[in-house]
Amino acid sequence: MKRREADKQMHDNQPNDVAISCERLTKRFQERIAVNSLTLSVPKGSIYGFLGPNGSGKSTTIRMLCGLLTPTSGRGTVLGYDVMTQSEAIKQRIGYMSQKFSLYEDLSVDENLDFYAGVYQLGKAERIQRKRELIEMAGLTGREKQLAGSLSGGWKQRLALSCALLHRPELLILDEPTAGVDPVSRRIFWEVIHDLARQGMTILVTTHYMDEAQTCDWIGFIFFGNLLVQGSPSELIEHHGADNLEDVFIKLVKEEEARQAAGQKGGGGGTGDVLVPVKGEGR
Ligand SMILES: Nc1ncnc2c1ncn2[C@@H]1O[C@H](COP(=O)(O)OP(=O)(O)OP(=O)(O)O)[C@@H](O)[C@H]1O
């Protein structure tokens, strides 16, 4: 069978209500296991908060899902495309804002959008329409000629988000999009995220802010490369008899550290104490 037909068949065989699915996905850097046998599933149209302390494996997972890093083992699909063999198809269909998403600071808002419209090869009419829509969505009307470098942190993030959305991706992956952004700008940014999800977009987002995590449909918590829990915020709080998500995670971190100190295996090799998302639940 030709490669393109094989790709199409694989894509057509995926359940169409799941945006991201991975099974025992693993990444090793020499002796270090950055992501250990990760199994997770993100329903289409949902917001999935991917949480964990610094160095726990979030960015590595995201880079594998975006087709930027080849997994050592395991398997996964993003929008039905295989992360091992179909990374180009994945890159075309997702919007990705990395921690170091770089705007061109010496270009204006308008020029940054033009630049990314060129990267995504949008035609002239599409470019004009998308720029208009996204400038309005991001609340950047009136700032089109302002240099990106002169925008405050919150505006920069919204411009970066607009650039990541130009090509109408079905899935948006955001790696700590609000790090270092003031609370009001964070709130506005998240209103945009929820609007996008209401319109049917799937969003995978990492954050260290528990108020943001609380508004996600699903949460996955990763530590030392192991996915320790997965479920809706309310399920996790109830399951652990905690008052809030922060308490859940502090408890999990302490338990995991104790396990590690005792030389035991990590929290289930990716699927241990996992409350699996239930189809149809969520917002
Ligand atoms: N290219 C690399 N080579 C070697 N080790 C790496 C590489 N990339 C990541 N790591 C290691 O893998 C582990 C997971 O890193 P990763 O960046 O995925 O964590 P993270 O959860 O995204 O952290 P943060 O919240 O600080 O961004 C860390 O120990 C990190 O040092």
Domain count within the chain: 1
Mean pLDDT of 181-190: 90
Closest residue by Cα to atom 20, ligand 1, is 55
pLDDT at 69: 94
Is 58 close to ligand 1, i.e. is its CB under 6 Å away? yes
pLDDT tens-place string over residues 154-175: 899 999 999 999 999 999 999 9
- Residue 225 in contact with residue 56, Cβ under 8 Å? yes
- CB of residue 57 inside a 6 A radius of ligand 1: yes
What is the number of the ligand 1 atom nearest to the C-alpha of 63? 18
For ligand 1, the distance from its centroid to the CA atom of residue 156, given in whole angstroms, is 25
Regarding the beta carbon of 226 and ligand 1, being less than 6 Å apart is answered: no
User: Could you tell me if residue 281 is inside a domain?
Assistant: no
Is the pLDDT at 65 greater than 80? The verdict is yes
Looking at ligand 1, which residue's alpha carbon is closest to its atom 16?
A: 57
pLDDT for position 80: 95
CA nearest ligand 1 atom 1, residue: 29
Average pLDDT over the chain reads 87
| Distance between CA atoms of residues 235 and 214, nearest Å | 11
**pLDDT score of 59 more than 60:** yes
Of 277, 278, 280, the C-alpha closest to 220 is 277
The predicted-structure confidence for 203-243, as pLDDT tens digits, reads as follows: 999 999 999 999 999 999 999 999 999 999 999 999 999 99
Kindly state whether residue 178 falls inside one of the protein's structural domains: yes
Q: What atom of ligand 1 comes closest to residue 29's alpha carbon? A: 4
pLDDT value, residue 225:
93
- Beta carbons within 8 Å of 13's beta carbon, 6+ residues apart: 80
Whole-number pLDDT of residue 101: 66
Cβ of residue 55 lying under 6 Å from some atom of ligand 1: yes
Per the domain annotation, does 282 fall within a domain? no
* Residue 98: per-residue pLDDT: 83
Ligand 1, residues 26, 28, 33, 59: which to mutate, most atoms within 8 A of Cβ?
Answer: 59
Is the pLDDT assigned to residue 5 strictly greater than 70?
no
pLDDT of amino acid 264: 63
> Buried b vs exposed e over 164-200: b needs ≥16 C-beta within 10 Å?
bbbbebebbbbbbbbeebeeebbebbbebbeebbeee
Q: Does any domain span residue 280?
A: no
Tell me the per-residue pLDDT of 236-281, one tens digit each, with 9 for 90 and over. 999 999 999 999 999 999 998 888 888 765 544 444 445 544 333 3
Q: Is residue 279 part of a domain?
A: no
- Within-domain flag for 82: yes
pLDDT of residue 13: 52
pLDDT tens digits, one per residue of 77-125: 999 999 999 999 999 999 999 877 678 999 999 999 999 999 999 999 9
- Domain of 157 in residue numbering reads as 3-274
- CATH number of the domain at 184, please: 3.40.50.300
**Nearest alpha-carbon partner for 212 in 49, 53, 46, 83:** 49
pLDDT value of position 57: 95
3-state secondary structure of 231: strand
Query: In a mutational test of the pocket of ligand 1, which residue from 32, 35, 64, 223 has the highest number of ligand atoms less than 8 Å from its CB?
Result: 32
